[in-house]
Amino acid sequence: MKDVALLIEKLGQRYSDILGINLKEGDEKEIFKWFLTSVLFGAPINETSVIKTYKCFEKRKVLMPESIVKTGWQGLVDILDEGGYARYDFKTSTKLLEVMGNLIANYEGNLSLLHDQASSSSDLEKRLKELGKGIGDVTVSIFLRELRGLWEKADAKPTPLVILAAKKLGIIREENSEKALEELKSFWRKNKVAGKTFVNLETALLRFGKDLRRKEKHKK
């Protein structure tokens, strides 16, 4: 389907690829980098600021649970401010310390261990949310989206923005996230694009959904 190929070509580049995070080999360090980015994406902040902030963490070599905890609250605030998180710096710093502390205490700081101990996709999502009160459905969906095909139990439901975009394009009819996921998968099976994956479709829909939401706000 030509329109799908165009949509993916324009908007479907994976965020992990933009950031130089290599998830393909399933390396724990790379998975954690993506988890950190997903937590940053969980705040209502624009894509450019998230990418810039991740680069600040990368520059300071604060890319592991232990190094985040060691950096401390004020150190994290400084990194977040440098990246453009001025409105969410205190809250995000507190969230990061809680999440990393629980990840270390409960799973030896290892997200792959968390996945292996999960009994199902829903249990995996539950365990991720239990890492801290700041980890909600959106953050979990962002994180697990790019791990589809890598982690057996990574099968998160689409975010509201993905559903908004897919409905606008006539790809799905359902608003229920579980049913919407099945509709999206069915659509992809019939309209696969060579060299691309379902993740590219989800990512393209997410970006298109963000654009739709921005336009809606400007109309008000």
Report the alpha-carbon angle 148-59-98, nearest 5: 60
Give the helix/strand (H/E) hosting 58: helix 47-59
Average pLDDT of the segment spanning 101-121: 98
Q: State yes or no: pLDDT of 98 exceeds 90.
A: yes
Q: Mean pLDDT of all residues in the chain?
A: 94
Q: State yes or no: pLDDT of 218 exceeds 80.
A: no
Q: State yes or no: pLDDT of 220 exceeds 80.
A: no
Q: State yes or no: pLDDT of 30 exceeds 60.
A: yes
Q: State yes or no: pLDDT of 1 exceeds 80.
A: no
Residues 137-172: pLDDT tens digits? 989 999 999 999 999 999 999 999 999 999 999 999
**If pLDDT is split at 50, 70 and 90, which confidence band does 86 have?**
confident
* pLDDT of res. 101: 98
Q: State yes or no: pLDDT of 219 exceeds 80.
A: no
Average pLDDT of the segment spanning 22-41: 96
| Helix, strand or coil, per DSSP, at residue 204 | helix
Give the helix/strand (H/E) hosting 115: helix 111-117
Domains of the chain: 2-14+159-219 (no CATH), 16-145 (1.10.340.30)
Higher pLDDT, 153 or 219: 153
Neighbours of 119 (CB within 10 A): 10
Q: Among 19, 89, 22, 87, which residue's Cα sits nearest to residue 54?
A: 19
